[in-house]
Amino acid sequence: MSLYRLDASIRVDGSHSRAIADIVEQEWRSAHPDEPVIRRHVGVEPIPATAWATAVFAGYTPEESRSAEQNAALALAATLTDELIAADALLFAAPLYNFGVSQHFKAWVDMVVTDPRMAAGTEPVLAGKPAVLVTVRGGNYRPGAPGEGWDHATGWMRRILADVWQLDLRVVETEFTLVGVNPTLDQFKELALEPRQSAEEQARRHGRALGAAEAVAAAA
């Protein structure tokens, strides 16, 4: 039994997505005290910006004509995919940046889907694997708020993880993480408490489910 965890925050200290993902991981850990966690910190150790294009063009190049750089890019895509296939449960933590998906998370997804096992039209190799996505936003995007409709990240991440890769996905979301940081949001101090508490509760629940789902899958 192993857990794969990917963090896309560009910071370590003070990261809300990491803190909530830690709760998920702790719950998984209580079911699997001695099992390994494989980590990718793509926000602070990014996938090289040129790797994706190199891997894409390597795919169009006959094997014997590929450059060393192309072979390295394909090897990286294969390693990233191996990590997902080998893990029994998956945990992703990604903030909203500039109303969109973290570029580091996107670069990682782009690389993974260059691997022939993950290409469009192939049998989804990750189908049914239990997974949790933790996503955090500094502002407020709930229905009726001025930001409604401006979160262009969560829908995309759900599409990839749940619809394209067909993971058995649970999502933990929280908002208002910039309350207390950005003074223009001070008026929302009270309002910010509830989403955080419910995200932490959801993280505990989904973390327990992740550990249990994995055990069920292994027994099947």
Ligand X SMILES: Cc1cc2nc3c(=O)[nH]c(=O)nc-3n(C[C@H](O)[C@H](O)[C@H](O)COP(=O)(O)O)c2cc1C
Residues making contact with ligand X (CB under 6 A):
9, 11, 15-18, 95-99, 136-139, 177-178
- Nearer to ligand X among residue 79 and residue 182 (C-beta): 182
Q: Which two tokens stand for residue 30?
A: 């209580």
* Mode of pairing for the β-strands spanning 37-41 and 3-7: parallel
Question: Closest separation between CB of residue 65 and ligand X, Å?
Answer: 40
- Nearer to ligand X among residue 137 and residue 170 (C-beta): 137
Helix 51-59 and helix 103-112, axial crossing angle in degrees, nearest 10 = 20
Question: Closest separation between CB of residue 17 and ligand X, Å?
Answer: 3
Question: Closest separation between CB of residue 50 and ligand X, Å?
Answer: 22
- Nearer to ligand X among residue 98 and residue 187 (C-beta): 98
Cα–Cα distance list, 160 to 18, 77, 106, 176, 196 (Å):
21, 17, 10, 25, 25
- Nearer to ligand X among residue 15 and residue 114 (C-beta): 15
Q: Which residue is nearest to ligand X (CB)?
A: 138
Question: Closest separation between CB of residue 156 and ligand X, Å?
Answer: 14
